[in-house]
Amino acid sequence: MLEEHAKIIQFIGAADGITGRKKLQKMVYIAKKLDYPYKEKYEFHVYGPYSHELTLRVEELCNMGFLQEDRQDKGSYVQYKYQMTDAGEHFTQMAQVEEAAPALVECISQMKNKSSRFLELVSTLLFFDHLPKEEQIEKLHAVKGKLNFTEEEIADAYEFVMHLMNMRTIH
Amino acid sequence: MSYATQKLAEEKVFKDPVHRYIHVRDQVIWDVIGAKEFQRLRRVKQLGTTYLVFHGAEHSRFSHSLGVYEIVRRIVDDSFNGRPEWDASERLLVLCAALLHDLGHGPFSHAFENVFNLDHEEFTRKILLGETEVNEILKRVSKDFPQKVADVIAKTYGNKQVVSLISSQIDADRMDYLQRDAYFTGVSYGHFDMERILRVMRPREDQIVIKSSGMHAVEDYIMSRYQMYWQVYFHPVSRSAEVILTKILHRAKALSKSGYDFAQQPTHFQGFFDGTFTLNEYLALDEGVLMTYFQLWVNEKDPILADLSYRFVNRKLFQYIEFDLAKDYMKMKELELLFKKAGIDPEYYLVFDSSSDLPYDFYRPGEEGERIPIHLLMPSGEIRELSRESEVVEAISGKRRTDHKLYFPEDFLTEDGKKKALKKQILDLLK
């Protein structure tokens, strides 16, 4: 029952809270692309890969009181912070979802430490991972031209993906 | 004359109940319509299980796809024709993307994708780029044309005006399905003045905007959409049918994995059960194939598969109650235990389902917005977001409505037989 919901609570719990809807979207997407068991469907959107299903799940979990959403007014925009509640923790135990693997917990922690701009870059490259590397980069510039990602940032993004993949293998 | 610009000797028309006629002049469009992967869409219903509630809703994804094409054709050939901010060289690309945007949908799309963890958008891409008749036709336009069509549908194409015509909060896809679904279900919602909207659409920079004089037509469109979602798309009875359909597929998959000996071997599903299916196997499926299996499975030895199939084929659906899982998830646990004690497998017979819709979403700078907002072109030339000008739209902007239901077979609990006290206890909990 609501196993996918429970996995999202667990994800946010493992991160000890996530600030920013965009960041949450990209973190789950990257984890999914690394073959961690998330079922949310993604499509390409304003800020890269985006899952309507994930948005819905998070809203439902907030309504149920299993996640807490805090709005932070940043002047020109509003930022949202999500945290697991005690009721949410209890629910994940009741739902009997498998405990998050150590590699996943580490992956979540490392993604959390990155900026949402960087995660947008990583997830966009991963969205085009069926293409050869040069075409991925070409596509990135076509859809994210306004963000002016530098060669260095792109190289860092590839390195980060390799690092996360190696971590998954080692664990 | 190149294949891309080749015209038919005479215009072809399809009679259509929504747009009166669908007009085809381009050879490419005519050829794509004739491709077998596109013809398959005749055998996939646009509204899945909704026909079990609104009996007229038997229309197909084929007719919807033609409708979306026709709306886009009218936009680019009439409204945008000669406007300097529209790149006329994109015409054939956007027409093909409109026609092919739903190409990857499978039978009873939502349930099928859910059980086998598939994504119809991925199949659209595979059909466009794989060894298919559609791909052969598109490649004759140019080598990279299939990829361009796939990019527009995946919303990763560079020209955002082209993407917006197929996918935005006021796009040809929605304008067609609202009217078509209203027509075939027979409901009185879903109608709006599309002619007016098409007349006031304008290409501007990297988006499509609406002249402010057309704001009331857009308000009507948004309200129509809101009503259609709650009156038709999220109807609790068609959701009940979808719950059963999903559980049939889950059961068949579980039985196959356990080595169960089917009286009717699920040949068409085998690749989906074990994850080895090919594109051709996907394309071989349609709703006729699924319904044939369901009818045969009514006579299977497995009582769950037989019962669920019987329910779907004969419209003996699950009953439902409102259920707030946040408040009642302990109750859910209790119900699961009681179902097990009563010999009713809760995995298949106690199902929580929720529906949720956001009628219109505005843009939140710096945050992940759900959808690109609708922008109005003011007489001064200024661009204003719709909910800032329309009080009607503002009232529903960003407000999600959600509905939670718990589905169960009431007949199992009320029939005469054993464990009467236990079943009464369950029914009391479900009140």
Mean pLDDT calculated for residue range A39-45: 89
User: How far apart, in whole angstroms, are the C-alpha atoms of residue B303 and residue B297?
Assistant: 10
- Give the chain B residue nearest A67 (alpha carbons): B326
Question: Do B332 and A64 make contact, defined as CB atoms within 8 angstroms?
Answer: no
Residue pLDDT, tens place only, A127-140: 999 899 999 999 99
Two tokens, residue B112: 């099928």
What is the pLDDT, as a whole number, of residue A147?
83
**Cβ atoms of residues B106 and B120 within 8 Å:** yes
Q: For residue A39, which residues of chain B lie inside 8 Å, CB to CB?
A: 117
Mean pLDDT calculated for residue range A72-80: 76
Domain boundaries, chain B: 3-221
Question: Locate tokens 């580490």: which residue?
Answer: A106
**A78-84 sheet: strands from edge to edge:** A18-19, A78-84, A67-73
Question: Do B326 and A74 make contact, defined as CB atoms within 8 angstroms?
Answer: no
Mean pLDDT calculated for residue range A122-150: 91
**Residue B71: closest CA among B19, B32, B29:** B19
**Residue A106: closest CA among A40, A164, A38, A19:** A164
What is the pLDDT, as a whole number, of residue B366?
47
Question: Do A63 and B156 make contact, defined as CB atoms within 8 angstroms?
Answer: no
- Regarding the domain delimited by B3-221, which CATH topology (the fold level of the hierarchy) does it fall under? Hypothetical protein af1432 (1.10.3210)
Domain boundaries, chain A: 3-170
The whole-angstrom distance between B118's CA and the closest CA on chain A is 9
Judged by DSSP in three states, B2 sits in coil
Q: For residue B332, which residues of chain A lie inside 8 Å, CB to CB?
A: 1
- Give the chain A residue nearest B330 (alpha carbons): A94
**Cβ atoms of residues B287 and B108 within 8 Å:** yes
**Cβ atoms of residues B98 and B91 within 8 Å:** no
Sign of CA dihedral B120, B126, B132, B135: positive
Judged by DSSP in three states, B180 sits in helix
**Cβ atoms of residues A118 and A153 within 8 Å:** yes
Which percentage of chain A shows pLDDT scores above 70? 98
Q: For residue A139, which residues of chain B lie inside 8 Å, CB to CB?
A: 156
**Cβ atoms of residues B172 and B162 within 8 Å:** no
- Give the chain B residue nearest A124 (alpha carbons): B156
Q: For residue B325, which residues of chain A lie inside 8 Å, CB to CB?
A: 2, 64
User: How far apart, in whole angstroms, are the C-alpha atoms of residue B138 and residue A56?
Assistant: 36
Question: Locate tokens 């429970």: which residue?
Answer: A6
The whole-angstrom distance between A47's CA and the closest CA on chain B is 7
Interface of B with A (CB under 8 A): 113, 117, 119, 121, 154-156, 158, 325-326, 329-330, 332-333, 336, 352, 354, 356, 364-370, 372, 400, 402
Judged by DSSP in three states, A29 sits in helix
Question: Do A63 and B368 make contact, defined as CB atoms within 8 angstroms?
Answer: no
Two tokens, residue B424: 């009464």
Which residues, other chains included, contact A73 with Cβ-Cβ below 8 Å and sequence gap of 6+?
none
The whole-angstrom distance between B391's CA and the closest CA on chain A is 22
Question: Do A55 and B370 make contact, defined as CB atoms within 8 angstroms?
Answer: yes
User: How far apart, in whole angstroms, are the C-alpha atoms of residue B252 and residue B99?
Assistant: 34
Q: For testing the chain B interface, which of A27, A41, A52, A135 should be mutated: the one with the most B CBs within 10 Å?
A: A41
Whether ipTM tops 0.90, in short, is: no
Work out the angle between the directed axes of helices A102-112 and A21-33 (0-180°, nearest 10). Answer: 140
Amino acid at B24: V
pLDDT digit string (tens) for chain B, length 431 residues: 799 999 999 999 999 999 999 999 999 999 999 999 999 999 999 999 999 999 999 999 999 999 999 999 999 999 999 999 999 999 999 999 999 999 999 999 889 998 998 999 999 999 999 999 999 999 999 999 999 999 999 999 989 999 999 998 899 999 999 999 999 999 998 899 999 999 999 999 889 999 999 999 999 999 998 889 889 998 999 999 999 999 999 999 999 999 999 998 999 999 999 999 999 999 999 999 999 999 999 999 999 999 999 999 999 999 999 998 777 878 988 999 999 999 999 999 999 988 876 666 665 544 555 567 899 999 999 999 998 899 999 888 877 778 889 999 999 999 877 888 999 999 999 98
Burial class, A162, CB count within 10 angstroms (exposed 0-12 / middle 13-18 / buried 19+): exposed
- Give the chain A residue nearest B120 (alpha carbons): A41
Nearest to B365 among A63, A65, A76 (CB): A76
Question: Do A2 and B325 make contact, defined as CB atoms within 8 angstroms?
Answer: yes
Question: Do B329 and A94 make contact, defined as CB atoms within 8 angstroms?
Answer: yes
Two tokens, residue A44: 């390409």
Sign of CA dihedral B430, B231, A52, B180: positive
- Give the chain B residue nearest A23 (alpha carbons): B368
CA dihedral of B335, B336, B339, B340, whole degrees rounded to 10: -150
Question: Locate tokens 């008749």: which residue?
Answer: B133
**Residue B218: closest CA among B179, B176, B175:** B175
CA dihedral of B365, B370, B374, B380, whole degrees rounded to 10: 0
Q: For residue B121, which residues of chain A lie inside 8 Å, CB to CB?
A: 43
Question: Do A41 and B370 make contact, defined as CB atoms within 8 angstroms?
Answer: no
What predicted TM-score, i.e. pTM, was given to this entire model? 0.91
Cα of B311 vs its chain's centroid, Å = 23
Nearest to A1 among B326, B352, B354 (CB): B352
